[in-house]
């Protein structure tokens, strides 16, 4: 089962989930718990930049809510997500370990 995280660096989206509709904009993090249906609709007239991460979390957690949104007002998560993406694409000897560290910090 996978936890899916989306970080919106730029752009907007409307996300329909089992629990209702989420409206997102820049610096929002959206998390989808495993097994919960969702449909993302982005405004293609606007520039979109989204970091998407899937995390294998083993067994799905028992949760009432299938998705939620966090606002990154201090932009701390922005730094973590951009570093995560940079190291994921990187090829240094420490990239894999840094990816794990950034994921832990985000979670």
Instruction: List, as one string, the DSSP characters of 42-78.
Output: E-TTS--EEEEEEEE-SSPP--S-SEEEEE-TT-HHH
Q: Residue 66 has what DSSP assignment?
A: S
Express each pLDDT in 59-103 by its tens digit: 665 665 678 889 999 999 999 999 999 999 988 999 999 999 999
Predicted pLDDT at 56: 86
Rounded to an integer, what distance in angstroms lies between the CA atom of residue 29 and that of residue 68? 8
CB 104 within 8 A of CB 80: no
Q: Residue 97 has what DSSP assignment?
A: H
Enter the pTM of the model. 0.82
């Amino acid at each position: 089962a996978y936890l899916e995280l989306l970080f919106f660096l730029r752009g907007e989206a409307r996300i329909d989930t089992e629990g209702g509709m989420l409206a997102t904009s820049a610096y929002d993090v959206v998390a989808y718990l495993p097994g919960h249906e969702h449909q993302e609709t982005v405004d293609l007239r606007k520039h979109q930049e989204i970091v998407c991460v899937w995390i294998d979390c083993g067994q799905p957690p028992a949760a009432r809510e299938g998705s939620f949104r966090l606002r990154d007002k201090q932009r701390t998560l922005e730094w973590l997500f951009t570093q995560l993406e940079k190291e994921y694409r990187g090829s240094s000897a420490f990239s894999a370990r840094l990816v794990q560290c950034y994921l832990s910090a985000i979670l």
